[in-house]
Amino acid sequence: MDFLEVEGKDKEEIICEVFDLSDAQREIFNRLQGAEMRVKSIAHEVDRDRSTVQRALKDMTDKELLEREQRTDHTVYYVYTAPGMDSLEGLTKRVLQEWYNAVLQKLS
């Protein structure tokens, strides 16, 4: 049961596995640690198509792994950042607890 294996994995790897991130999402997630970027810059940094990056960002934002902030400078654009590790740890613990409770309920 590899999905339960945590030996030798760091916090970021565990978070990526808990939220079932794809390779593209993992690249983006890792790149946004401590950074603030727009879609175009992210696509360039991870060498992925803009539409692929936008889908990945939406999914990760929906999972609360990333934050999106609207800004205006002659046009409206969005900047993406990753919350701090403390926040991500808390989110991961909450999601795991909810999953655990749901499993227990199904098995009862």
Given a cut of 70, whether residue 1 has pLDDT beyond it is: no
Domain range summary for the chain, segments of one domain joined by +: 2-107
Per-residue pLDDT at 100: 94
The pLDDT assigned to 59 comes to: 97
Helix (H), strand (E) counts: the chain: 5, 3
Give CA separation, 56 vs 1, 23, 72, 90, 108, in Å. 26, 10, 23, 22, 36
Position 50 scores a pLDDT of 95
What pLDDT, on the 0 to 100 scale, is given for residue 4? 72
User: Could you give the CA distance from residue 68 to residue 43 in angstroms, rounded to a whole number?
Assistant: 16
Domain range 2-107, CATH architecture: Orthogonal Bundle (1.10)
pLDDT at 90: 96
CA distance 66 to 64: 5
Residue range 80-98, pLDDT digits in tens: 999 999 999 999 999 999 9
The C-alpha atoms of residue 36 and residue 93 are separated, in whole angstroms, by 25
Q: What is the pLDDT of residues 20-65, one digit of tens each?
A: 999 999 999 999 999 999 999 999 999 999 999 999 999 999 999 9
Q: What is the DSSP string of 21-61?
A: --HHHHHHHHHTTT-EE-HHHHHHHHT--HHHHHHHHHHHH
